[in-house]
Structures are given as C-alpha cells and as structure tokens.
Amino acid sequence: MGFLGLRELLVVVWCILLILLCCSIEISFGSTTRHFKWAVEYMFWSPDCQESVVMGINGQFPGPTIRAQAGDTIFVQLTNKLHTEGVVIHWHGIRQRGTPWADGTASISQCAINPGETFDYRFKVDKAGTYIYHGHFGMQRSAGLYGSLIVEVGEGEKEPFHYDGEFNLLLSDWWHQSVHDQEVGLSSKPFRWIGEPQTLLINGRGQFNCSLAAHFSNTSTNACTLRGDEQCAPQVLPVLPNRTYRLRIASITTLASLNLAVGNHKMVMVEADGNYVQPFEVEDMDIYSGESYSVLLTTNQDQSKNYWISIGVRGRKTQTPQALTLLNYSPTSQSKLPILPPPITPTWNDYDHSKSFSNKIFALMGSPKPPKNSDRQIILLNTQNYIDGYIKWAINNISLLLPSTPYLGSIKYSLKSAFDNKNPPENFANDYDVMKPPINPNSSNGNGVYMLGLNITVDVILQNANALAVNVSEIHPWHLHGHNFWVLGYGEGKFSANKDEKKFNLRNPPLRNTVVIFPFGWTALRFVADNPGVWAFHCHIEPHLHMGMGVVFAQGVEHVNDIPDQALACGLTGKRFMKNTKQN
Ligand SMILES: *[C@@H]1O[C@H](CO)[C@@H](O)[C@H](O)[C@H]1NC(C)=O
Ligand SMILES: *[C@@H]1O[C@H](CO)[C@@H](O)[C@H](O)[C@H]1NC(C)=O
Ligand SMILES: *[C@@H]1O[C@H](CO)[C@@H](O)[C@H](O)[C@H]1NC(C)=O
Ligand SMILES: *[C@@H]1O[C@H](CO)[C@@H](O)[C@H](O)[C@H]1NC(C)=O
Ligand SMILES: *[C@@H]1O[C@H](CO)[C@@H](O)[C@H](O)[C@H]1NC(C)=O
Ligand SMILES: *[C@@H]1O[C@H](CO)[C@@H](O)[C@H](O)[C@H]1NC(C)=O
Ligand SMILES: *[C@@H]1O[C@H](CO)[C@@H](O)[C@H](O)[C@H]1NC(C)=O
Ligand SMILES: [Cu+2]
C-alpha cells in the first residue's frame, strides 16, 4: 500500500506540475509564450527606510523581473487597480515589430487602461539584451512603476563573451513628496520645483538619513543598523573569487544622471541598450535615464575583504547622497563592511569625463552598419520656454501636448480632427543663438506628427541650447520607441551641416535606443523607418517629457492591421468603435 501510494502520489504531483507549467508557459514549435497576470496598485512601502506610497505590481516594488529568451512571446494581462487614474506600461527597448499597439504609450499607441480594466500586452522579444519596463502615462514612472525585462540569447545561441554568473542592478531616484506634488508643481504658475531626489535606489532599495558609508564621511549622516530583511536593506551581491560576473545595469531615474563604480575593480563594457559593443575597460561609467549596459567584472581582489558598489549623481549640483551596496567575496564576511571608502563620484559638472566615456562606445565588430546616406534630415532644437507664463520644454518651438485620441488609431482610420495634420518644423530659425537664452522665450503647444516614408533612412540632429536662465544648458537623454538608431557623433555648439556631417562615424557607430545630448552640444543619429506604427521620441527625464519635450514619428500605419479594440476604446476611435458595435 505504501509503495503504490507513493507511485500514485508521484503521478498526481507530476500532473499538477504539468498543468502549472502549461498555464504559465505554452511551448509550441520552439517558441515559448510567457504569461503573467499583473495588477498595478498604490501601496505603502519604505524604499529608503522611510514609508511612502509607491506604485507597485502584484504587491512588489520594483515590479517583478521578467526573464525570457530571444524569440519568446511575452503575454502580460495588466489590470489597473489604481482606483483614481488610468495606466499603461511601456516595454522599453523592445521594438514591437508587428505589434505597435503593445508599445504602452498613452495617447500614442493605446488608450490608457481605466481603473478596473485589463489590457493584454502580447509581444515578441526578438533580441537578447537588458531592458526595462515602466509606466508611460502622466508621471507614473516617477511614482515607482517600473521593473526589469531581461532577454537571454535564444536556444543554441551564445553571447560573444563569457561569464560565470550575473546580477541585475536597476537604478532609480526617489522623492519623499508624492508624484502628485511633483506634477502639480511642474504645471503651476509660478512654477514650483520639487527639488533634487532625497535618495538613489538600487533595485528599489536606498537608505535615507542612514548612510551605509557613514563611517567614511565627516558629515552628520548616521550609520545604519539594518537587520537585512527591511525593504530598504541593500541587496548584497555574493561573489566567489576568480570568477567573471555580468552586471546588468539599467537606469530608470526620473531626473538623475548617474555614475557607477565598484571599489578596486575595473569593468569591461560589453552591451548597451540590447546591442553588443566593442569591449573596453572602465573604472567608472556614466548612465542616463533610459539606458542599459552590461559590464563584466572579474573578482580578482583580496578575497578577505568586501568592496563597495556606488552610484552618484552627475550633471546636476545635488545633495543627494551616493547609493551603496556590497560586493561580498565570502559567505563568512557577509557583515563585514569594506575597509576602503566608497569610490568617489566624479564632480557633477565634469562633462569631459562623461564625453570621454560616451566617445569610447562603438559597435562590436560585425554589427549591422548604417546606410551610407540618409533620405531625410530632421534637426530638433531643444529649448526651455514659456507658454502663457507656464514653463515648458519645446522642440523647434513646439511643446508636445498629447491628444485625447491615440495616434495609432486616429492615423489608421484617418480621423483627421484628432491632431494637428501639419508636419512639425524640420529645423529652427537659422539666426537662433543656441548659446544664449531665447530673445523671445514664448512657444506654443502642439501635437503634430513627423510622417516618415516607410523604410526611408532618417537622420536626426538633436541640438541643445541655453535654457531660460543665463549660461544654463541641461543634459537630455533622448529615447526612441520602436527602433534602434546608430549614434553618428557628438559635437559642441551649433551643428554645422557642411562641417560636421563629414565627421559622422559610419564605420562602427553604436546601435542604441537612448542617447544623451550634452549641454550646449548636439548629437547626430540615424535610423531606418522600417517599423510600421506610431513611435514616441522624447527626453527620458520624466518632468521634461511631462513639460512637452518630445516628438512623434509615424510610418507605414496603413500596413498596421488588427489593432485590438482594447487599444482604441477612447476618444474619437472609441466613438467609432461604439458606432460599429451598434451596427453589428
Ligand atoms: C536623522 O536621524 C537622526 C537620528 O535618528 C535624527 O535626529 C534626525 O532628525 C534625522 N534627520 C532627518 C532629516 O530625518
Ligand atoms: C574626514 O576627517 C579626517 C580626519 O578626521 C580627514 O583625514 C579626512 O580627509 C576627512 N574626509 C573628508 C571627506 O573630508
Ligand atoms: C585566484 O587567482 C589568484 C591568481 O591567479 C591565485 O593566487 C589565487 O589562489 C586564486 N584564488 C582562488 C580562491 O582560487
Ligand atoms: C510672451 O508672452 C507673454 C504673455 O504670456 C507676454 O507678456 C510677452 O510679451 C511675450 N513676450 C514676447 C517677447 O513676445
Ligand atoms: C518661437 O516662436 C516665437 C513666437 O511665436 C518667435 O518669436 C521665436 O522666434 C520662435 N523661435 C524659434 C526658435 O523659432
Ligand atoms: C520595407 O522593407 C521591408 C523589409 O525590411 C519590406 O518587407 C517591405 O516591403 C518594404 N516596404 C516598402 C513600402 O518599401
Ligand atoms: C556666462 O558665461 C560667460 C562665458 O563663460 C561669462 O563670460 C559670463 O560672465 C557668464 N554670465 C553669467 C551671468 O554667469
Ligand atoms: Cu530633458
């Protein structure tokens, strides 16, 4: 009886396992669907040891990490449990070929999901790499709606480098005031600035007024006594000596540009935004919001000690302290703090340091090369402006104010009244002095679309300029949806077509989805408009985007078929949808 019972039990367990497996992972002909049911809700959390309200997923902050293999289909059924606002999730770095309605941009690719409703995000992850997902409605990213999306190489494929283990570091910044305080301040006259973040977070964990590094600073910060199970306790990275680890590092900050360094260890850069780069060694690295990198780190230091991993703010003069965690060499030394102080973040305005890092990034040999020529050049001037006394950011004098009907549906169904049908300007006034504050600082709101011919090659020159205050020009990391682009070059001052185009790197420019423009400088990029859909291109600093710093590209929308009703159920497409349902 005992023997049979055990066998029966095993069969039952095996069946249950099979059923469980089938529910979450459907395998058919070598391609896997990974199925998730997510609920987004506000909840109490202590990301930096101080309780706040955060936007979480299934009771977690940051949201659950998705791991998949290249070629898999991700299927997320997202339910909005926010009660008072809509929600969407953008899959940052995923190109959404054939599924432009799943890009998760409110007013662009879909209608915001109403409280209580569920939206099906079903899309293919076709390229291995380190990606992120995050809210793309209002300022929900700032409220904490984000997580990691990691795509491993497909079955039988290999990465072009070796490693023994890996860690994932998702970097963000955190304020004690609510996202509503932030947003209302930005939209007020006079403008009210929330100020710099209180805390930097690594995997959603930071320590406020309780510095891990207090032993090494002469300021009044207190040393922490953390048991290790707190929500704000740092995630210590356990490593073995003489091994190589891959650190996947992504920044989803609202505002801060960051620098990361590991005490006593060098890093070898191998991946940027899901694209392989020519490996190069660094002692520290800059990372802007929306970017991701993989670095290899070899544990070749004295194994009786532990080492700090630190991140600090670049490009803004802040009081925000470094965020720290530990590289822990031996299980017995878990509680041992490093003897050496944490690496020092380069001075906030040492832009040469940042530029020298950016200029070291090239595509791995054998990567796709850009077309030799472009069919269209669009120059985008980035300015800070006023509209009726409200502070805004504008591109070629237009501050993006999104329409109530998402473009994908309104363009597909030719609902011409849904947005401004005039093409936005391709350039700015020739006599505009990018080194001085605007003479007439007024601009206007707009929601026009750059209509790109399908498959054309587009060059975009991002031109930075002086903001409203004298001698001030800020960093802006620009992110393109639906594509990777080649970074052809960076330069100082005003872009000169004659002089600067000759210097474009067409030999081994890195492919990316996010790139920075430095203060008073320009950045040139090239992409092929080969992905039918409507795609946002915008500054990844959340307040800047919210204040209008973005443009919209559309291409081949006539080839987009089967947009799900779920994505269209608002604005003018919603009305059209209602009419059709009545007729049926
Ligand atoms: C930091 O902590 C100390 C001691 O716990 C406390 O006296 C001080 O008020 C705190 N500072 C802030 C800004 O919370
Ligand atoms: C902190 O004080 C010590 C002496 O007490 C000094 O040697 C060290 O340079 C100081 N560190 C900083 C960061 O000011
Ligand atoms: C690690 O490598 C170094 C140098 O190759 C060697 O001296 C040391 O014994 C190694 N340590 C372990 C734990 O294998
Ligand atoms: C800008 O707009 C404001 C009104 O919002 C107006 O008072 C001001 O004169 C305008 N400036 C210029 C240079 O036109
Ligand atoms: C922006 O618009 C204002 C007023 O409409 C104009 O005076 C100014 O020259 C424009 N700026 C640029 C850069 O075109
Ligand atoms: C665009 O390019 C794709 C291949 O990348 C091709 O299948 C398609 O026919 C092209 N469409 C046009 C309109 O050129
Ligand atoms: C702005 O920078 C220039 C050049 O560095 C300098 O001559 C000028 O004094 C600065 N103006 C202000 C207001 O800081
Ligand atoms: Cu910006």
Q: What is the pLDDT of residue 26?
A: 53
Query: Domain of 242?
Result: 165-358
Containing 382, the helix (H) or strand (E) segment is: strand 376-387
Quote the CA–CA distance of 446 and 419 in Å, as a whole number. Answer: 9
Quote the CA–CA distance of 236 and 334 in Å, as a whole number. Answer: 8
Identify the residue with better confidence: 20 or 194.
Answer: 194
- Which tokens belong to 267? 């890093």
Q: Is 222 in the pocket of ligand 1 (CB under 6 A)?
A: yes
Ligand positioned closest to the Cα atom of 531: 6
CB-facing half-sphere around the CA of 85: CA atoms within 13 A: 16
Q: Which of 293, 326, 358 is the last residue of a domain?
A: 358
Q: What is the pLDDT of residue 108?
A: 98
- What amino acid is encoded at 302 in this protein? D
Please report whether residue 534 resides in a domain. yes
Closest ligand 4 atom, CA of 439? 13
Identify the residue with better confidence: 210 or 130.
Answer: 130
Contact 182, 142 (CB under 8 A): yes
Ligand positioned closest to the Cα atom of 428: 5
Q: Is 188 in the pocket of ligand 6 (CB under 6 A)?
A: no
Average pLDDT, integer, range 109-134: 98
Ligand positioned closest to the Cα atom of 433: 5
Residue 211 sits in the same domain as residue 302? yes
Q: What is the pLDDT of residue 85?
A: 97
Tell me the CA–centroid distance for residue 181 and ligand 8, in Å: 20
Closest ligand 4 atom, CA of 389? 5
Considering the entire predicted model, what is its pTM? 0.91
Q: What is the pLDDT of residue 294?
A: 98
Quote the CA–CA distance of 485 and 487 in Å, as a whole number. Answer: 6
Tell me the CA–centroid distance for residue 120 and ligand 4, in Å: 46
Q: What is the pLDDT of residue 215?
A: 63
Closest ligand 5 atom, CA of 381? 13
Q: Which of 89, 122, 152 is the last residue of a domain?
A: 152
- What amino acid is encoded at 62 in this protein? P
Contact 438, 393 (CB under 8 A): no
Max Cα distance, the chain (Å)? 93
Instruction: Kindly give, in sequence order, each residue whose CB lies less than 8 Å from that of residue 574, ignoring residues fewer than 6 positions away.
Output: 111, 405, 568
Please report whether residue 559 resides in a domain. yes
The sign one gets for the Cα dihedral 294, 298, 303, 308 is negative
Closest ligand 6 atom, CA of 556? 13
Quote the CA–CA distance of 399 and 491 in Å, as a whole number. Answer: 25
pLDDT digits (tens, 9 = 90+) for 215-260: 666 555 667 778 888 999 999 999 999 999 999 999 999 999 999 9
Residue 329 sits in the same domain as residue 405? no
Average pLDDT, integer, range 155-181: 97
Quote the CA–CA distance of 293 and 514 in Å, as a whole number. Answer: 11
Please report whether residue 525 resides in a domain. yes
> Which residue, among 557, 561, 567, 494, has the nearest Cα to 529 in the 3D structure?
557
Residue 127 sits in the same domain as residue 178? no
Q: What percent of the chain is helix, strand and coil (3-state, nearest 5)? A: 15, 35, 50
Instruction: Kindly give, in sequence order, each residue whose CB lies less than 8 Å from that of residue 350, ignoring residues fewer than 6 positions away.
Output: none
Q: Which residue's alpha carbon is at the smallest distance from atom 8 of ligand 3? A: 242
Q: Report phi then psi at 35, rounded to 5.
A: -105, 130
Ligand positioned closest to the Cα atom of 214: 2
Residues with CB under 5 A from ligand 8 (ion): 476, 539, 541, 544
Q: What is the mean pLDDT of the chain?
A: 92
Q: What is the DSSP letter of 576?
A: H
Closest ligand 4 atom, CA of 442? 1
Please report whether residue 297 resides in a domain. yes
Burial 39-64 (b: 16+ CB within 10 A, else e): ebbbeebebbbbebebbbbeeebbbb
Query: How far does the chain reach from its first CA to its final CA, in angstroms?
Result: 62
Q: What is the pLDDT of residue 17?
A: 47
- Which tokens belong to 577? 């949808």
- CATH number for the domain including 138? 2.60.40.420
The helix/strand/coil state of 355 is: helix
**Residues forming a β-bridge with 363:** 277
Residue 345 sits in the same domain as residue 222? yes
- Which tokens belong to 452? 């790109």
Residue 415 sits in the same domain as residue 491? yes
Quote the CA–CA distance of 584 and 579 in Å, as a whole number. Answer: 9
Quote the CA–CA distance of 81 and 58 in Å, as a whole number. Answer: 10
Average pLDDT, integer, range 130-157: 97
**Residues forming a β-bridge with 271:** 276, 294
Quote the CA–CA distance of 426 and 457 in Å, as a whole number. Answer: 15
pLDDT digits (tens, 9 = 90+) for 63-72: 999 999 999 9
Contact 504, 519 (CB under 8 A): no
Residue 191 sits in the same domain as residue 292? yes
Q: Which of 152, 181, 205 is the last residue of a domain?
A: 152
Chain centre distance of CA 319: 24
- Look at the chain and report how many structural domains it folds into: 3
Q: What is the pLDDT of residue 221?
A: 60
Please report whether residue 17 resides in a domain. no
Residue 111 sits in the same domain as residue 169? no
Q: What is the pLDDT of residue 338?
A: 86
Residue 142 sits in the same domain as residue 215? no
Q: What is the pLDDT of residue 393?
A: 98
Tell me the CA–centroid distance for residue 242 and ligand 3, in Å: 6
Residue 384 sits in the same domain as residue 490? yes
Q: Cis omega before residue 437 (within 30°)? A: no
> Which residue, among 418, 419, 412, has the nearest Cα to 559 in the 3D structure?
412
Residue 568 sits in the same domain as residue 492? yes
Indicate if the pLDDT at residue 21 is higher than 50. Answer: no
